[in-house]
Chains A and B, each alone.
Chain A
Amino acid sequence: MTAERTSPSSVEARFSLSGQRPLQLERPIVTASGVLGFGAEAAELVDLRDVGLFVTRGVSLAARGGAGLPRMVEVPGGMMHAIGRENPGVDEVIDRHSAAWRATPCAIAISLVAADLGSLGKLIARLESRADLVGADAYELDLTVSSDVLGGSRWESSLEESTRFIDAARDSTELPLIVKVSPDVVTPAQLAGAAADAGADLLSVSGSPVGFLPNRTRAASALAEGEGELSGPLIRPRALAAVANAATSGALPIIGGGGIGSPADALDYFAAGADLISLGSALWADADLPRAVTESARRAAASRGGSRVADLVGTALRRATTR
């Protein structure tokens, strides 16, 4: 006698955050900040009906000039970029893109770029003052941004300053807060706990770790900025380790990403403890990846007799602890 198998199409792929700040995503897919722009152009690249949460490119209070060229180079196993969080400032971004946000068939998170707490508070206040236009479902607090108080190091390099940053944001809005860090973060599990205590609702372990590469044919760095942010398969094992570490805290639901180029890669992130999958530069070459990841997750859950994609979350961690 064989157990009745679940049909993949009946497997629930929705993600829900309940409580004071609810957030419902129709798909377990998040687009990484920066990859698809601010919004108006995103639908030209991927079908956003296959996406649960679209995260905008980073938005700051005032306009930020970008880095010099080259901003992006290929490296063994991936790419390295230094864009400099270039953006025209919050007001112009709202003017240009809010109509597209309101028409988007998935949830929207505005990625916030701030180097100090004062500008973070003003940035959120500006967005909240135009909330009817913006229509955001959540904010992403990007802790991979340089902090003035840390002398240019990333917010995520200090647990204390990261907590202050999240606190300041929590005091400014009732929207769900997604805290984004990279595998370079100081102890993911500790940060997850501190972020939860400070009022964060999700932890996104999908940011890019720092890299550096000399240009071997010139006496210069490969990127004009010197250091850059790494993406691609070369970071996947590190990102998976950070996801697994954060997941052990059980403090927050986790968005996991970094170097995902195929549905099988995404299943690794579920297994390591991610509740949601962040897709990045692979979308440039494979616009169908969001749909493929969801379908693959449904099939994987069904093959194990599960009824929800959430049944895949943390399966590798459970095996590790029972060994």
Chain B
Amino acid sequence: MGASPVTAQLLAVGELSPGRNTLLLRVPELIATLRPGHALHLVHAEAGGYRLRRVAPVTKIDLLAGSVEVALLPRADGGRDSLAELMAGAQIAVVGPIGQPIEIDSASQQLLIVSDGEGFAWVRLLAASLISAGLSVVLLVEARTAAELPAASLLPEQVEIVVATEDGSLGHQGSAADLMPTYADWADQVIASGERDLLNAVTSAARAASSIDRTTAKGKRRSRQAGAAPWLQLLISHEIGCGSGVCGGCTFSSANGSVRLCREGPAVSAPGLSAGTKRDS
């Protein structure tokens, strides 16, 4: 049988950014198994008793308190998630961990994270854990307006945050991917998380960076070992499904083959930019 649900107690409902809710859960059975990139499946009964397994990326872990924060992904219909209406003390069935941890190479010291408002939920825990491990992290984050950006206070202060907004209300006007050329050579690895347009733009920028031999003011070149973790990884969000890799609901097909995001994901290496491609060229 597949992993059986365990019961989590809801401690609080919070917010990552306006309209992007989080649930703080007490779930001692799972907490030690969770890593950046993992999600939980929340088995939630809608009206009428029908239950689906909803994907909720893990955004924060507090081992001492025994609590895990997960993000509720936005609904396609724009509606508020009924889980966000629950009161503290409510019990929620959860299954996890879902997916694989994001692969960080042991030689990596400088990590570039590129995210939009949707994708931030998948990288918040990563950024915090990298800082805890003593690594340098730059986050390029974009949103439509300044008001829709995740609060800087959600991250350790050591994370260098560079902002882009579509309307120019804060930071660079445009996409976070526009800022890639400045940081690409600096980064030992790049993790991008967000909607398809951002991931495509980041991939294009990475390709351009790999074909141009240049050194930025921050840059320093290192050679990468064969078998190292992919230089560019794309985190692809998915909403619901079986969580067991059989339903095909989260299968991502690329030139590199098919990836079941709930099993082998959520991170996929960018097509044509697999391990060593950039640094060894």
Enumerate B221-270 residues with CB–CB distance to A below 8 Å. 236, 238-253, 258
B79 adjacent to A76 (CB under 8 Å): yes
With A45-B2, A46-B1, A285-B43 known as contacts, the answer to whether A74 contacts B246 (CB < 8 A) is no
Binding site secondary structure of chain A: loop
- A side interface size, CB within 8 A: 45
A259 CA to B52 CA, complexed, in Å: 11
With A44-B1, A46-B1, A233-B48 known as contacts, the answer to whether A284 contacts B242 (CB < 8 A) is yes
Interface assignment of B46: CB less than 8 Å from any CB of chain A: yes
A34 adjacent to B247 (CB under 8 Å): yes
Chain A residue nearest in CB terms to B197: A218
Contacts of A81 on B, CB cut-off 8 Å?
249
Interface assignment of B49: CB less than 8 Å from any CB of chain A: yes
Contacts of B51 on A, CB cut-off 8 Å?
261, 282, 285-286
Interface assignment of A316: CB less than 8 Å from any CB of chain B: no
**The one of A35, A36, A74 that contacts B76, using a Cβ cutoff of 8 Å:** A74
Interface assignment of B75: CB less than 8 Å from any CB of chain A: yes
A217 adjacent to B78 (CB under 8 Å): yes
> Would you give the shortest CB distance from B72 to chain A, in whole angstroms?
11
Contacts of A284 on B, CB cut-off 8 Å?
52-53, 241-244, 247
Contacts of B1 on A, CB cut-off 8 Å?
44-47, 287
With A66-B248, A83-B248, A284-B53 known as contacts, the answer to whether A216 contacts B2 (CB < 8 A) is no
Interface assignment of B77: CB less than 8 Å from any CB of chain A: yes
A285 CA to B44 CA, complexed, in Å: 8
> Would you give the shortest CB distance from B257 to chain A, in whole angstroms?
11
A290 CA to B46 CA, complexed, in Å: 20
A146 CA to B79 CA, complexed, in Å: 32
Interface assignment of B54: CB less than 8 Å from any CB of chain A: yes
Chain B residue nearest in CB terms to A65: B253
B240 adjacent to A216 (CB under 8 Å): no
Interface assignment of A92: CB less than 8 Å from any CB of chain B: no
Contacts of A259 on B, CB cut-off 8 Å?
50
Interface assignment of B74: CB less than 8 Å from any CB of chain A: yes
Contacts of B248 on A, CB cut-off 8 Å?
34, 37, 57, 66, 71, 83, 86
B49 adjacent to A73 (CB under 8 Å): no
Contacts of A75 on B, CB cut-off 8 Å?
76-77
Chain A residue nearest in CB terms to B54: A74
> Would you give the shortest CB distance from B183 to chain A, in whole angstroms?
27
Contacts of B76 on A, CB cut-off 8 Å?
70, 73-75, 213, 215-217, 222
Contacts of A217 on B, CB cut-off 8 Å?
74, 76, 78
**The one of B53, B246, B253, B258 that contacts A41, using a Cβ cutoff of 8 Å:** B246
Enumerate B46-80 residues with CB–CB distance to A below 8 Å. 46-54, 74-79
A45 adjacent to B242 (CB under 8 Å): yes
**The one of A74, A86, A232, A233 that contacts B75, using a Cβ cutoff of 8 Å:** A74
Interface size bracket, B side = 35 or more
Enumerate B34-51 residues with CB–CB distance to A below 8 Å. 43, 46-51
Quick one: CB contact mask for B1-21 with A, threshold 8 Å, 1 for yes? 110000000000000000000
Contacts of B253 on A, CB cut-off 8 Å?
65-66, 86
Contacts of A287 on B, CB cut-off 8 Å?
1-2
With A37-B246, A45-B244 known as contacts, the answer to whether A74 contacts B52 (CB < 8 A) is yes
B239 adjacent to A73 (CB under 8 Å): yes
A74 adjacent to B240 (CB under 8 Å): yes
With A69-B252, A70-B239 known as contacts, the answer to whether A222 contacts B50 (CB < 8 A) is no
A65 CA to B243 CA, complexed, in Å: 21
A262 CA to B50 CA, complexed, in Å: 8
A262 adjacent to B247 (CB under 8 Å): no
A35 adjacent to B247 (CB under 8 Å): yes
Interface assignment of A77: CB less than 8 Å from any CB of chain B: yes
Interface assignment of A204: CB less than 8 Å from any CB of chain B: no
Contacts of A74 on B, CB cut-off 8 Å?
52, 54, 75-76, 239-240
With A37-B246, A45-B244, A284-B242 known as contacts, the answer to whether A71 contacts B49 (CB < 8 A) is no
Q: List B residues at the A interface (Cβ < 8 Å).
A: 1-2, 43, 46-54, 74-79, 93, 195-196, 236, 238-253, 258
A/B interface sample: 25 pairs, CB < 8 A: A34-B247, A36-B246, A37-B245, A42-B246, A45-B2, A45-B246, A46-B1, A57-B246, A66-B258, A69-B238, A71-B249, A76-B77, A77-B47, A81-B249, A83-B248, A213-B77, A216-B76, A216-B78, A217-B74, A232-B52, A259-B50, A261-B50, A282-B50, A282-B51, A285-B52
